[in-house]
Amino acid sequence: MGEISRQQLIDMLEKTVERLGYELADLELQIGGGHGLLRIFIDSEQGITLEDCEQVSRQVGAILDVEDPIPGDYNLEVSSPGLDRRLVKATHFERFAGERVKVKLKRLVDGRRNFKGKLVGYEEPNVVLQEGKEKFLVPLQEIDTARIVPKF
């Protein structure tokens, strides 16, 4: 099998994670250098405990053992998204409306690549951001990374 994409892994694992009662919030895949890493972030309304991570790790590990989609040796990590969670899906941008976010774009939009402000929400196909009194509509597919700015 050739190199698997992040999206192919999400497609392979998302239903299992959802059947266990969690959302597959994000997935990071780093392969190469003889040892890789697959990091899965899960979430739920009740938050995530160590036991939740262990349960998902066992189930996902079993699927990966059977399907064997990742070449070579790699570690599997399962954790919660954390306070500075990445926003990936349209539903994330809806759910975390009102939060302060930091957004980096794949290319310049309105002459800018970086935005930091309030997440207003999601209006298909755009994420709505507010900096001061200005509002910006950013196409979801143009977002490279978006993270919540934690409140301390």
**Alpha carbons 22 and 46: distance in angstroms, whole number:** 10
pLDDT attached to residue 2? 56
Fold of 90-148: SH3 type barrels. (2.30.30)
Digitized pLDDT (tens) for each residue of the chain, 152 residues in all: 457 889 999 999 999 999 999 999 999 999 877 788 999 999 998 999 999 999 999 999 999 999 999 888 899 999 999 999 999 999 999 999 999 999 999 999 878 899 999 999 999 999 999 999 999 999 999 999 999 999 88
Cα separation, 62 vs 92, whole angstroms:
28
The class that CATH gives domain 6-79 is alpha beta
pLDDT value, residue 56: 98
Name 68's Cβ contacts closer than 8 Å, sequence gap at least 6.
1
Q: What's the gap between Cα 150 and its chain centre?
A: 16
Tell me, what's the pLDDT at 152?
82
Domain boundaries in the chain? 6-79, 90-148
What's the half-sphere exposure (Cβ side, CA atoms, 13 Å) at 142? 17
With tokens 């959302």, the residue in question is 23
Whole-number pLDDT of residue 1: 44
